[in-house]
Amino acid sequence: MTSPNTNRGNRRNTISSTNRRNTTGTGNRRGSANTRGRRSSANAANVNTPRANTAPAGLPPTELILLSQVDATQPNFLSLGDWQNVLQPLTKKTFVLENAVDLETLSKLIKSSNIPRLDHAITSISLPKLFWFSGVRGSRTENETLEFLTELPALTHLQITLHTAGLTKAKWSEFQQNSIEQYDVVKSKQRVPLTVDEVVQFYDLQKICKYNHLRFLRIQCYDSAIVRQQTPSADPLAVFFELREWLTSAMQGRTVVDLVVNPGERE
């Protein structure tokens, strides 16, 4: 399944479980900071590293670190000072991973001796291009990015972005499509929504349940006009709303699951 390539807007509407077009959240979006955690020393320097769960339980940090603009051999955020003084401010930033290159960059940073215990300072991650993931199928047995996040012990906030093209599938088999296309091109392109289980399996979303300290999960979705036209028999966003129920249950209620619909195509 491929996502449409046209940018038709970037407005955002937040949705609640009772009114899908109005702004609300699930739970207390302005929860107090979790001040619990253990102070630990880093190597022989005996410097306190950031406490786990220092990020608030409400909205994620708005200050971003774009990993696409970071050199793993000499990260620009080290200009703030030596690594001991950098870690605590990093707990209030969101690291943005857009592709496999960004993932490799972050992996190198975490393994670097220049920033010991960086993994304990990362509290917020954004995956704005998760909808490009080709899915768990064939030789691909897992979502490598979501698996990598299981190694971040202080992760409290996660934002992921989907697209209705990835929440639907072709209604007809390839043979049927070719046959129908001969007399009705529009009908041959019809799509139907996936089930919740199919979406969870395709994106490997069950891995999110391994993030033991996750307190806020925001899922955004592009509501494509093209996909909506191709799905005349059902709402392509229906499974998107069902996904919140699945995740809330799977996370045993410990995580706020917030849904945001972006009318139009991807950025």
Determine how β-strand 13-15 pairs with β-strand 256-263. antiparallel
Q: Look at the pTM and tell me if it is higher than 0.85.
A: no
The total of structural domains in the chain comes to: 1
Return the residue matching tokens 């709402």: 235
CA atoms within 13 A on the CB side of 66: 4
Question: Is residue 237 in a domain?
Answer: yes
| Percentage of residues in the chain having pLDDT higher than 90 | 59
Question: Is residue 254 in a domain?
Answer: yes
Identity of the residue numbered 231: T
Averaged pLDDT for residues 32-53: 37
pLDDT digits over 1-31, tens only?
A: 444 444 444 434 433 333 333 333 334 433 4
Q: What is the CA radius of gyration of the chain?
A: 20
Cα of 181 vs its chain's centroid, Å: 36
CA dihedral 92, 98, 103, 106 (to 10 degrees): -30
Question: Is residue 3 in a domain?
Answer: no
Question: Is residue 232 in a domain?
Answer: yes
Q: What's the domain range around 134?
A: 46-263
Q: Give CB contacts under 8 A, 24+ apart, made by 19-22.
A: 20/237, 20/241, 20/261, 21/261
Q: What's the whole-number average pLDDT of the chain?
A: 79
Question: Is residue 115 in a domain?
Answer: yes
State how far the Cα of 195 lies from the Cα of 200, in Å rounded to an integer.
Answer: 9
Task: Quickly count: other Cβ atoms within 10 Å of residue 93's Cβ.
Answer: 19
Question: Is residue 177 in a domain?
Answer: yes
> Dihedrals φ, ψ of 231, to 5°?
-120, 65
Stretch among 16-30, 59-73, 130-144, 223-237 having the lowest mean pLDDT = 16-30
Contact yes or no for 244/16 (Cβ under 8 A): no
pLDDT digits over 65-105, tens only?
A: 888 888 877 776 666 555 667 788 889 999 999 999 999 99
